[in-house]
Structure 1
Amino acid sequence: MTVRPLLRVGPVRRFTRNLLCPVDLLGRPLLLKYTRDPAEARQEIRGHARLARHYRVPALHTHLRVPGGHLLTYERLPCGTDQGLLLDLLNTGEPSSALHDYMDKLTTTYRDVILTTARPTDPTHVIQKLYGDRSAPGGRLDTYYAGRDFLVADGLVDIPVSRLGTYTLNINGRRHHVDWAATLRWLRAHLASTEPVWAALTQGDPTDVNLAHPLAWFDYDTAGMNSILGEFANFLWYASALGGWLVPTYNPAAFADHPATFNRVPANSPEIRRADVDHATSTIHIDYAPRLSAPRRAAVTAYWDRLVRPVAERLWPGADLPNLLRPYLAMRVLGVYNLADLAPKVRLVLLARLAEAMSPAFDPATYFCPLESPCPAP
């Protein structure tokens, strides 16, 4: 007779400042989450309760104050090595029928809940963690960039970012212009606006590691009334840049249970083909090849066509959608990683992406999918 242990503890994983640990207690699968920030723990509990009314989430069994923080005990959904997340459906060579079905369920759920709960909302009643808080005085924009200058790309383009505005950027044959200081001022001012924004009940940080397969939602400290445009920008940027390229490069520990992620990094990493400065014409030439794996292109295309476009047509009929998305995208480009701390080639690509996002010709449908395999035009 096999005796099942009363308690089995799995490996502890660190995600940002939080610790996660799978536990089997009397044969019951649980997930323990330890967070040090009391305010974040309270928001997680409130966010879970709000989200549970509209989305599938694992049950929250208990939450306790413990030395140094809070411990939350969740139902643990089935998972394993390279399985259990949207991420795993993206870590394949080609889009699967499971991915197509998943994206259909994801976008249908989001579309229904967003259109049901959407309303113009005072910014003080919108979750601000990923946007307003980061752009506010003392937030990430200040922490990363205030009073700091750095080169566009050491050894490639030895121009300080403070002087970007005095140069023309020729990126893949198209002319762009970015004034670094003016961009930061504009971003701070835009996200500090007191004008109502369209908000809806969402998870707020829809990454491919916060979305379970079968479909469920994890991580609730940003759950609640979120800017709908911020929700869109978050998913699109994570799916097209962070999840397949930047996060596995700079935070590999987050993918310890999903090692197939690392096999797909080359398929999602841009390649710089030219980077030089023509001082005679004050022009910086940057040619790069954007790359995005076929499953990620399929996910982004489905999200754009089945969620972003129909919601935008209902809430912002006739509006300039690229212009509406721009500040949220720029904040994701600048406010996740400190560009000054990244490798020169990575920094160069991100500054090029920022320039493209700030351009009057910015087209999200081609921006989030490589031009070699464009999304359908909006």
Structure 2
Amino acid sequence: MTTARSPLRIGPVRRFTHNLLCSIDIFGQPLLLKYTRNPAEAREEIRGHARLARHYRVPALHAHLRVPGGRLLAYERLPGGTDRGLLLDLLNASEPSSDLHAYMDRLTTAYREVILSTAWPTDPANVIRKLYWERAAPGGRLDTYYTGNDFRVADGLVDVPVSRLGSYALNINGRRHHLDWATTLRRLRAHFATAEPVWAALTQGDPTDVNLAHPLAWFDYDTAGMNSIHGEFTNFLWYASALGGWLVPAYNPTAFADHPATFAHAPANTPELRRAFIDRTTSAIHIDYAPRLSTPRQAVVTAYWNQLVRPVADRLWPSADLANLLRPYLVMRILGVYNLADLAPEDRLVLIARLAEAMSPAFNPATYFCPLESPCPAL
């Protein structure tokens, strides 16, 4: 006697930022349902998916419909499971595997071809603005997080308000820096308020290790379209070197419910704050920290830089200073993802140190994203 199999199987519901995801099987067809409360974001996702599908591998979008409180999108569900199915899972290892190297070859080749064939100086009004321009605009994240909010650099460690940082020299790992908080915010807003054309190309826009499937495919499309190439590069590099292995597991652990190996590898990607103190006699703040990055993440950053950033830059901006091109996007990623005031004092202090290093005239992105205390392959 055989038992009839249910035509409908429903998996657990997962929350990612403001969206809900749920895997289902209907008559043996695997689907991924995405519930989005914001109708404008749902429309952008649908349009972004159509744009991306012309150039990149994406799961099929089978249907989308209005439901109470939002919109439901039904995607083809790619193979995956606990600790498998994402670039993240290749990074959650002690050493970089041959699969990871092959994956980065495919990823950088796909991006290089599409970026170089679609790149064009573009009016900033016509690029995807969500992750950079909107956050810098009046009423955006910079205002929401920091306007009228004068918090301490690191409670109990460096009890100096960020508004007074400019009055101190910053001695970070033995190197002298300077950071004026108000000036940094003002310059960042001004950069994203100009009408000067930006180099843009057709990309997914938010290339994190949870938005990239293994085997290679792209997820999450509400920022897909003509994106700033500099923003695309910076987003991947900062996520691979800081957010994905350190900050997101610490402050948004539910995002990794199906990838618990992330937490076992977090210590290998979490900077160690060794000491921090104020020397009142010299008006100097001393911060010593040890950057950490696992060898798989080092390999990814190195491959991305050598096989994508450098070749594209050599073709499109052969005489430009990449540090100046990438700096405003990096500063926005440091300040505009998490509100620094909400972070633990040690994490906040390390990020302020990283911000000062990014603002330095000596900022070198080729080494910044691959910490010097981690023996990176030559960039």
| TM-score bracket, shorter-length normalisation | over 0.9
| Aligned-partner residue type, residue 119 of structure 2 | A
Where 2:32 maps in the other structure, the secondary structure is strand
Where 1:366 maps in the other structure, the secondary structure is helix
Separation of aligned partners in 1, 2:44 and 2:34: 14
Which ranges of structure 1 fall in alignment gaps of 5 or more residues? none
Deviation per CA, 1:264-283, whole angstroms, max 9, x where unpaired? 01000000111000011010
Report what 1:184 is aligned to. 185
Deviation at 1:376, TM superposition (A): 5.6
Where 1:229 maps in the other structure, the secondary structure is helix
Separation of aligned partners in 2, 1:59 and 1:195: 36
Q: TM-score, normalised by structure 2?
A: 0.99
Deviation at 1:373, TM superposition (A): 3.1
Contact 1:270 1:290 in 2 (8 A): yes
Separation of aligned partners in 2, 1:338 and 1:100: 34
Superposition RMSD in Å: 0.8
Report what 2:80 is aligned to. 79
Separation of aligned partners in 2, 1:125 and 1:102: 31
Where 2:361 maps in the other structure, the secondary structure is coil
Report what 1:62 is aligned to. 63
| Aligned-partner residue type, residue 275 of structure 2 | R
Deviation per CA, 1:240-294, whole angstroms, max 9, x where unpaired? 0000000000000000000000000100000011100001101000000000000
Deviation per CA, 1:311-330, whole angstroms, max 9, x where unpaired? 01111111100111000000
| Aligned-partner residue type, residue 15 of structure 2 | R
Where 2:125 maps in the other structure, the secondary structure is helix
Report what 2:349 is aligned to. 348
| Aligned-partner residue type, residue 20 of structure 2 | L
Deviation at 1:366, TM superposition (A): 1.2
Separation of aligned partners in 2, 1:317 and 1:354: 26
**Matched length:** 378
Deviation at 1:192, TM superposition (A): 1.2
Contact 2:83 2:260 in 1 (8 A): yes
Report what 1:365 is aligned to. 366
> Is structure 2 residue 217 aligned with structure 1 residue 222?
no
Contact 1:144 1:338 in 2 (8 A): yes
| Aligned-partner residue type, residue 204 of structure 2 | Q
Alignment of structure 1 residues 156-167 onto 2, 5 Å: 156-167=157-168
Deviation at 1:92, TM superposition (A): 0.2
Report what 2:23 is aligned to. 22
Deviation at 1:3, TM superposition (A): 3.2
Separation of aligned partners in 1, 2:373 and 2:167: 31
Report what 1:121 is aligned to. 122
> Is structure 2 residue 160 aligned with structure 1 residue 193?
no
Contact 1:365 1:376 in 2 (8 A): no
Deviation per CA, 1:17-73, whole angstroms, max 9, x where unpaired? 000000000000000000011110000000000000000000000000111100000
Separation of aligned partners in 2, 1:369 and 1:4: 51
Which ranges of structure 2 fall in alignment gaps of 5 or more residues? none
Report what 1:88 is aligned to. 89
Where 1:34 maps in the other structure, the secondary structure is strand
Over 3 Å counting, the alpha-carbon distance change for 1:376 and 1:361 in structure 2 is farther
Deviation at 1:377, TM superposition (A): 6.0
Report what 1:339 is aligned to. 340
Q: TM-score, normalised by structure 1?
A: 0.99
Separation of aligned partners in 1, 2:376 and 2:293: 12
Report what 2:151 is aligned to. 150
State, as a whole percentage, how many aligned pairs show the same letter: 80
Report what 2:170 is aligned to. 169
Contact 2:299 2:377 in 1 (8 A): no
Separation of aligned partners in 2, 1:140 and 1:4: 49
Separation of aligned partners in 2, 1:168 and 1:115: 42
Report what 2:52 is aligned to. 51
